[in-house]
């Protein structure tokens, strides 16, 4: 939803933003003539079919059909709502998002209140930390320095039942927000109380550095549970978020490797030791959404787990989530720690260099894959090798098409003696070729050409004579011309975005995505030729209508005059059907 963001601001934003820069921060692009190409980030493919046009400020995938402006790319790639995508782009070019009517749309306003409330809660917890001798002693025991505590905004939730409620307000509206944010819980009688009590608090940040939830750790082994996370809320979905991803991105301009560990304190210990590349899942197994976030952040992902049964099970879950996202250029590794050790304890004993050495010796996914599948399988027997092949085939089929998939299939054949015989995924393996040129109506051709060069509208005089043509899209063409004329310098993306909430939007996006061949001068000539032919077709259409009408009844004087003028007009040779 656009909410109440003015169209004029969307125009200015899209005029300042370069879609190539926006996409290249997230997807590696290569120059290809006038455009940029890449393997599509929205589906798995072997050869690039994703194209970005600087001239149109538009992207299009010829494989899966994904297309749109810089705003649409952020919405789909970063999974942002429209207002958040606009705000994200605005921040990159130093603009402040205005709102018509002096306020934001209600749904967005509610989220803003939630963000503000959670930030205030984090601030209150931070202020309570120095007041707790118990919390201070724990931080000292764990070796946390002041800089680290500040960087992660660590805090303390006192033992009382209403500390947050009293601090942030107990009005009906504030209680509603506290409940929605997961900060309070209710007992059987419906009485509200603080969810987090007597816990060291870890704010969980989203990809823009905003507090969206909390994790709380008890300091005594007698209390349970050891860790308590915020419940699912409108802002927080634990299967889609990673603890410390914001801090990792802030600390690394270009990230090539990211490490997934199990605990918040493990993450913080590694950051403090000079390895600001660690994140953690939020009390849940690694999900497909997690692995996509990880691979977007860095091409190499190291999953670090305990070496016990629970750690092995968690690692296998991570492998299953990673397989469908391992397109060429992405690599996953697995690091299993000695019994009784965790990243926190190891980095204390061995220092940064020691833990770096362990990371470099992490097991590649391919080795871990076959080692686990071969476990308790007699590879010396025919039956054992057949069992390995049967276990591996459905998992290998999840891999995207590419060199890694081919090499794993070859390794399976080498180990088992059985051919992989992987079933091709039609969505993954279909031919990803640019569509052949198709016969378009004159109206569609004119719209496509205008979307390529909106400034052509300045050369079209009013009244538009083609408006007499009774064909679909004629009025839309006229509206596009009017819009382009009233906004000098409008680019194609801006022009299309004006129709974002209208039924014509999908059709305009498809026309924008369609390749328009030829040099700009030739395209302009084709555009004006299309308008001329539309005018001629309008004359022919009206003349035929009046002639048919005259056979049924006598025409009035005005109609007779009009028909004489039409008959006297030059009749063009037959044109391509509109």
Contact 299, 330 (CB under 8 A): yes
pLDDT at 573: 43
Report the C-alpha gap between 154 and 140 in whole angstroms: 13
Please name the residue that has the structure tokens 């506290």: 178
pLDDT at 431: 34
pTM of the full structure? 0.68
SS (H, E, C) 62-99: CCCCCEECHHHHHHHHCCCCHHHHHHHHHHHCCCCCCC
**How does pLDDT run across 173-204, given as a tens digit for each residue?**
999 999 999 999 998 888 899 999 999 999 99
Mean pLDDT by 10 residues, the chain (578 residues): 75 90 88 90 85 91 90 87 86 80 43 91 97 96 96 96 91 92 90 94 92 94 85 91 94 90 96 97 90 89 92 94 86 95 95 97 96 87 89 91 88 86 46 42 88 90 86 90 88 87 86 74 89 87 82 82 74 41
Give every strand in the sheet of 211-217, ordered side by side.
155-157, 199-205, 211-217, 227-229
> What are the structural domain ranges in the chain?
7-101, 106-236, 245-370, 374-426, 442-568
pLDDT at 567: 76
Indicate the fold that domain 442-568 takes in CATH. Answer: DNAb Helicase; Chain A (1.10.860)
Question: What 3-state class would DSSP assign to 321?
Answer: helix
SS (H, E, C) 444-479: HHHHHHHHHCHHHHHHCCCCCHHHHCCCCCHHHHHH
Identify the DSSP state of 102: G
Fold match flag (106-236 vs 442-568): no
**How does pLDDT run across 405-433, given as a tens digit for each residue?**
899 999 999 998 887 666 544 433 433 34
Q: Cα 211 vs. chain centroid, distance in angstroms? A: 19
Q: Cα 282 vs. chain centroid, distance in angstroms? A: 20
Contact 453, 484 (CB under 8 A): no
Report the C-alpha gap between 158 and 128 in whole angstroms: 7
Report the C-alpha gap between 324 and 396 in whole angstroms: 9
478 cis-preceded (ω within 30 degrees of 0): no
Q: Cα 483 vs. chain centroid, distance in angstroms? A: 30
Identify the DSSP state of 189: T
Reference 96, options 24, 21, 12; nearest CA is: 12
**How does pLDDT run across 442-497, given as a tens digit for each residue?**
888 889 899 889 999 999 988 888 888 888 888 999 999 999 988 888 888 888 88
CATH superfamily, domain at 7-101: Zinc finger, CHC2-typedomain (3.90.580.10)
Report the C-alpha gap between 101 and 90 in whole angstroms: 20
Report the C-alpha gap between 159 and 435 in whole angstroms: 65
106-236 has which CATH code?
A: 3.90.980.10
CATH class of the domain comprising 245-370: alpha beta
Report the C-alpha gap between 210 and 118 in whole angstroms: 9
Q: Where are the alpha helices (DSSP H) in 93-193?
A: 106-128, 133-141, 146-151, 163-168, 172-180
Contact 60, 509 (CB under 8 A): no
Pick one of 2.60.40, 1.10.3470, 1.20.50, 1.20.1050 as the CATH number of 374-426: 1.20.50
């Amino acid at each position: 939803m656009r909410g109440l963001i003015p169209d004029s601001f969307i125009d200015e934003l899209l005029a300042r933003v370069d879609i190539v820069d926006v996409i290249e921060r997230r997807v590696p692009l290569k120059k290809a003539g006038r455009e940029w190409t890449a393997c599509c980030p929205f589906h798995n493919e072997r050869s690039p079919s994703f194209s970005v046009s600087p001239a149109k400020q538009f992207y299009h995938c010829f494989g899966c059909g994904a297309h749109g402006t810089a705003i649409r790319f952020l919405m789909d790639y970063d999974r942002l709502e429209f207002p958040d995508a606009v705000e994200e782009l605005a921040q990159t070019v130093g603009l402040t998002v205005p709102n018509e009517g002096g306020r934001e749309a209600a749904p967005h306003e509610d989220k803003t209140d939630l963000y503000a409330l959670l930030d205030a809660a984090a601030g209150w917890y931070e202020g309570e930390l120095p007041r707790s001798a118990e919390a201070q002693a724990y931080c000292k025991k764990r070796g946390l320095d002041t800089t680290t505590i500040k960087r992660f905004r660590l805090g303390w939730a006192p033992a009382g039942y209403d500390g947050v409620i009293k601090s942030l307000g107990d009005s009906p509206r504030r209680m509603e927000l506290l409940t929605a944010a997961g900060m309070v819980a209710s007992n059987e009688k419906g009485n509200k109380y603080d969810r987090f009590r007597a816990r060291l608090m870890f704010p969980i940040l989203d990809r823009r550095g905003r507090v969206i939830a909390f994790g709380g750790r008890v300091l005594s082994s007698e209390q349970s549970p050891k860790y308590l996370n915020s419940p699912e809320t409108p802002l927080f979905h634990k299967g889609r978020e990673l603890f410390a991803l914001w801090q990792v991105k802030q600390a690394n301009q270009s990230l090539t490797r990211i490490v997934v560990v199990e605990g918040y304190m493990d993450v913080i210990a590694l950051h403090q030791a000079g390895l600001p590349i660690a994140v953690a899942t939020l009390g849940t197994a690694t999900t497909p959404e997690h692995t996509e976030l990880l691979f977007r952040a860095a091409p190499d992902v190291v999953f670090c787990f305990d070496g016990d049964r629970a750690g092995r099970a968690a690692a296998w879950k991570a492998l299953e989530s990673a397989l469908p996202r391992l397109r060429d250029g992405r690599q996953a590794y697995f690091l299993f720690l000695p019994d009784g050790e965790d990243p926190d304890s190891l980095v204390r004993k061995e220092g940064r260099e020691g833990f770096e050495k362990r990371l470099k010796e992490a097991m590649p996914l391919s080795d871990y894959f076959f080692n686990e599948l071969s476990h308790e399988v007699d590879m010396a027997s025919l039956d054992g090798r057949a069992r390995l092949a049967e276990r591996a085939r459905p998992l290998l089929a999840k891999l995207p098409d590419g060199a890694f998939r081919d090499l794993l299939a070859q390794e399976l054949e080498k180990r088992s003696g059985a051919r992989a015989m992987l079933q091709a995924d039609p969505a993954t393996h279909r031919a990803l070729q640019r569509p052949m040129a198709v016969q378009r109506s004159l109206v569609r051709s004119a719209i496509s050409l205008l979307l390529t060069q909106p400034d052509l509208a300045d050369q079209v005089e009013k009244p538009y004579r083609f408006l007499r043509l009774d064909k679909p899209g004629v009025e839309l063409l006229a509206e596009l011309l009017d819009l382009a004329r009233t906004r000098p310098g409008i680019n194609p993306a801006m022009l299309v975005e004006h129709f974002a909430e209208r039924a014509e939007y999908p059709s305009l996006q498809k026309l924008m995505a369609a390749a328009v061949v030829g040099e700009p001068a030739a395209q302009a000539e084709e555009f004006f030729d299309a308008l001329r032919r539309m005018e001629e077709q309008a004359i022919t259409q009206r003349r035929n209508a009046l002639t048919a009408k005259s056979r049924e009844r006598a025409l009035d004087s005005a109609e007779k005059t009009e028909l004489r003028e039409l008959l006297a007009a030059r009749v063009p040779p037959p044109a391509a059907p509109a």
